[in-house]
Amino acid sequence: MGIHWSVFFGILGLVIGSFLNVIIFRLPKEESIISPGSHCPVCNHFLRPWELIPILSYVFLRGRCSQCKVKISWRYPLLEGLTGILFFLVAYNNKSGSFGLFTIELIFIVLLLVLAGIDWYTFRLPDIFTIPLIIIAIGARFYFPEGPTGWESFGTAVVAGGIFWLINFIYPDGMGLGDVKLIMGIGAFLGAHKVFIAIFIASLSGSLVGLTLLSLKKATFSQPIPFGPYLVFGALISFFSGDLILDYYAKIFFS
């Protein structure tokens, strides 16, 4: 897509990112994501239209509620901005010309971000998002010719999920079944080669963050760390740069 369409979808991503914040905050508490409207969780002040502009409202309000002045979490503008950037990149890198596949890729991004956010705050990866991720990923690979084939997608989901299930079976405290389903969805969408890049990046980044927190005494060895956000981070890196990483690897070891 051209730069103008990419910018359009980037702006759309900012708006969708704002709604993803609502899903991440309310769904784990079994609250409606529609009613009541957006409001301050402390003083219940209902946000006015100018207070709902992604990122800009946070800047104008200086990160505080306009009524009670309580601090607004930085995660709100962060997720809005991240969603906008990812939507822009998906549109900008779309070379297939298939609007159907493009839409599936945006859904893939949305599901990953929601799962990462919920897992980060609740240590849960709800089936309401992981199961559709698996089904959509496999179905898309059977329907669209670009990327891994449908059977490769299915096989990758089974193998990657089987490895994580075995880890969960041996060490249930270190890996949850939600992680198993998440890696199945990621594997089905990315294919055999890219999913292992995602797993490697997730393991490396998770280890580095964990060691950093331990060294700063911000965490203990007994404190659980959600693995879902790191899997999502690895999946996003592999989705956008997996081919470059594989080419670089091939040049080093096979040239």
- 100 Rama sector, left if φ>0, alpha if ψ -120 to 50, beta otherwise: alpha
Mean pLDDT of 123-135: 95
Exposure letters 122-151 (e unless 16+ CB within 10 A, then b): eeebbeebbeebbebbbebbeeeeebbebe
The model's pLDDT over 40-59, given as tens digits with 9 standing for 90+, comes to 878 888 888 888 899 999 99
Whole-number pLDDT of residue 255: 63
Boundaries of every domain in the chain: 1-93, 97-255
Q: Is the pLDDT of residue 248 over 80?
A: yes
Q: How many percent of the chain have pLDDT more than 90?
A: 60
Model pTM?
0.92
Determine the Cα–Cα distance for residues 207 and 212; give it in Å rounded to an integer: 8
Phi, psi of 205 (to 5 degrees): -65, -40
Which is more confidently placed, 234 or 147?
234
Residue that has been written with the tokens 């990483």 in this structure: 245
* pLDDT band, residue 88 (cuts 50/70/90): very high
Q: Is the pLDDT of residue 17 over 80?
A: yes
Whole-number pLDDT of residue 253: 74
